[in-house]
Amino acid sequence: MSSTRDRILDALQDVLLEEGPAGATLDVVAQRAGVSKGGLLYHYRSKDDLFAGLLGRLDAGAAAADAATPDDPAQAARWFLEGSQSAEGPEERTMLAALRLLGTYPPARERMAAYLDGWAAGLRRTIDDPVLSRLVQLVGDGLFLHALLGSGDADLDGRVLTDVLRRVSGTPA
């Protein structure tokens, strides 16, 4: 059973994805969450507080990713890149909703950049070469963006993945 706070954030995500930030009024979110407006305000004092709560979900996801990153550089890169090819989970849904806040809620840009860097913290810790670590992150971010958009070339993406993993493991071409 989800907590009231979670139900409110789930409702916010739904509204952001369906109607955008303009549709995410406190009244609409409260109604979607099945709470009174006063109940919503008990948990989130303002719309900004509600948006900050949504972005907090991303912080938790980045911390979990950092903790789950394998210690071996090649395994870490494979884990990161393979995980970047899907946009189907609840964290990805949160990311899509949070993207809707860009341009409307000023802290969103910094918080989302911190989220992406948090996801890659394990890579930076595991892969000694900072350029190679960043390359893996940027390829993963690109794969993730294409997964979100439902675009890309699976064959070419697979070849890129293979080449990047070869570089991380130090295997010659």
pLDDT tens, position by position, 115-156 = 888 889 999 999 999 999 999 999 999 988 888 788 878 888
Tokens 């990161």: give the residue. 80
Domain holding 96, by residue range, is 69-169
Please state the separation of Cα 10 from the chain's center in Å.
15
Question: Within 10 A of 145 (CB to CB), how many other CB atoms are there?
Answer: 13
Answer yes or no: is 15 within a domain: no
Cα gap 117→128, rounded to integer Å: 16
Answer yes or no: is 100 within a domain: yes
Closest residue by Cα to residue 50 from 118, 1, 110, 4? 4
Which token pair is 100? 């809707």
Total domains present in the chain: 1
Task: Work out the end-to-end distance of the chain between its first and last CA atoms, rounded to an integer number of angstroms.
Answer: 51
Answer yes or no: is 51 within a domain: no
> Which pLDDT band, with edges at 50, 70 and 90, does 173 fall under?
low
* pTM for the whole structure: 0.82
Answer yes or no: is 122 within a domain: yes
